[in-house]
Amino acid sequence: MIPIRDTVPSRGTPVVTWTLIAVNVAVFFYELTLAPEELERLFYLFGVVPARFSDPQWARWVGFPVDDYWPFLTSMFLHGGWMHVIGNMWTLWIFGDNVEERMGRARFLGFYLLTGLAAGLTHWFTNADSTVPTVGASGAIAGVLGAYFVLFPFSRIITLFPILFFPFFFELPAATYLLFWFLSQVFSGTLAGLSPESVGGVAWWAHVGGFVAGVALHRLFVLPRRSQPRPWERDESGVEGAWVRWR
């Protein structure tokens, strides 16, 4: 299912969301200027290579810098192709503005980076021996989805579900859509662990870790209710009233 839009209007300007999208796109266009071997080197130096941190002796032998943990941050701004960056930025565009509005700009940026770090650490712990670099903003965006899951459970998500060559559009509660998405990540990550050759190239457990971190940590970043910039709509909810149905 491809999300098209949500039904919660944003009354302010999501400056941080737009800035994150702009930075990711700018870095991707820089990647396009690199030769294949230069791009591979960029991914290995600034992407998360789990074995680099699990096996320091191997890392030194290969030539990685010692005690360099910046890749857990820099990997969030690298992408492996057009569909990778478009899919991530489209998802951030749909869900990021409302979460930013609930948190405020500075808090939202801190939340985004923290959940991205949690996603990177989860990927490291679950793939400790991997020598393949992992890049992408999806872990941090999964954290945004986790916050959205709790803050806006009754928002409606317009989704596209293609069957053969025919597009079908459905409107789903945000809680339903995001729960389905989360469970699909858990299932895919489990399948990848049981049969690595059948599922490749996606850091499923990073998505799971980012989402769980978003659910667990969002309360630390949400603005107090009196500081909220606008009243709640009927298809959303505040932290205090999440999961209490409207009558």
Alpha-carbon distance values, 95 to 49, 129, 146 (Å): 28, 33, 10
Tokens 């021996």 correspond to 129
What percent of the chain is modeled with pLDDT above 70? 87
Which run of H or E residues covers position 157?
strand 156-163
CB-neighbour burial class of residue 236 (10 A; exposed 0-12, middle 13-18, buried 19+)? buried
Which run of H or E residues covers position 112?
helix 105-126
Reduced to 3 states (helix: H, G, I; strand: E, B; else coil), residue 243 is: coil
Least confident of 65-74, 79-88, 122-131, 191-200: 191-200
Angle at 76 between CA 188 and CA 17, to 5 degrees: 105
What percent of the chain is modeled with pLDDT above 90? 66
Task: Return mean pLDDT, the chain.
Answer: 88
Q: pLDDT of 156-170, one tens digit each?
A: 999 988 877 788 888
Confidence of residue 133 (pLDDT cuts 50, 70, 90): very high
Name all contacts of 170-175 with Cβ < 8 Å and 24+ positions apart. Answer: 170/1, 172/1, 174/6, 174/148, 174/149, 175/149
pLDDT for 195: 52
Nearest partner of 170 among 157, 184, 155, judged by Cα = 157
Tokens 């979460």 correspond to 99
Which tokens in the block code for residue 109? 């940026």
Dist CA 32 CA 221 (whole Å) = 35
pLDDT for 228: 59
CB 89 within 8 A of CB 25: yes
If one compares 194 and 172, the residue with the highest pLDDT of the two is 172
Mean pLDDT value of segment 126-131: 89
Confidence of residue 246 (pLDDT cuts 50, 70, 90): very low
Dist CA 227 CA 94 (whole Å) = 23
What fold characterizes domain 2-227? Rhomboid-like fold (1.20.1540)
Per-domain residue ranges for the chain?
2-227
Q: pLDDT of 83-118, one tens digit each?
A: 999 999 999 999 999 999 999 999 999 999 999 999
CB 43 within 8 A of CB 69: no
pLDDT for 226: 60
Pairing of strands 2-6, 166-173: unpaired
Q: With 80 as the cut, is the pLDDT of residue 175 above it?
A: yes
Q: pLDDT of 18-56, one tens digit each?
A: 999 999 999 999 999 999 999 999 999 999 999 999 898
Which amino acid is located at 166 in the chain? F
Which amino acid is located at 205 in the chain? W
Looking at the DSSP bridge assignments, the partners of residue 157 are 6, 172
Confidence of residue 233 (pLDDT cuts 50, 70, 90): low
Which tokens in the block code for residue 19? 């800035």
Q: What is the DSSP letter of 70?
A: T
If one compares 94 and 229, the residue with the highest pLDDT of the two is 94
Dist CA 152 CA 172 (whole Å) = 12
Which tokens in the block code for residue 188? 């895919």
Sort residue 168 into left (φ over 0), alpha (ψ -120 to 50) or beta: beta
